[in-house]
Amino acid sequence: MKQLLALLLMGVVLTTSSCSKDDDDNSPSAAVSTSLKSGTWRITSFSENGVDHTSDFSSFTFTFGNSGTVTAANSILTATGSWSTGLDDSQHKLILDFNSGALFDEISEDWEIVSQSSTQVSLRHVSGGSGGTDLLVFQKN
């Protein structure tokens, strides 16, 4: 009976923590969050299934606000959306969700954090439908 109770308790703990935000200050999610809130950023690489689309975004500067808002702006257009970081399916992620335009739909995804530093964030998204892989790199200005 004690083993059954322990297994049930373990299941509840694992279930409730698997999709929660990761507040550990040493996690990749927390490090990316801290880095992105500092300064402005540019996309220096974006590919979908091996096709380079970096030029679609190279003129935009991205600003990640403390309140979870993200703004992408160039001399012609300003697009806004939301961003967050956290742990989902045991992966540290950056979630981007833009509210405007088909162009920004391309990067509105839940991105797995591949690597990060104070000046660069490398991300990957594997499509659930086709299994294709998209890669995105933000570089600090």
Domain-wise residue ranges, the chain? 22-140
What's the rounded Cα separation, in Å, for the pair 46 and 111?
12
* Res 25: pLDDT: 63
Largest CA distance in the chain: 67
What's the rounded Cα separation, in Å, for the pair 79 and 63?
11
DSSP class of 4? H
Burial of 64 from C-beta contacts in 10 A (0-12 / 13-18 / 19+): buried
CATH topology of domain 22-140: Lipocalin (2.40.128)
The β-bridge partners of 96 are: 83
Amino acid occupying residue 4: L
Instruction: Work out the number of other CB atoms within 10 angstroms of the CB of residue 127.
Output: 12
10-46 tens-digit pLDDT:
443 333 344 444 445 678 999 999 999 999 999 999 9
65-119 tens-digit pLDDT:
999 999 999 999 999 999 999 998 899 999 999 987 788 999 999 999 999 999 9
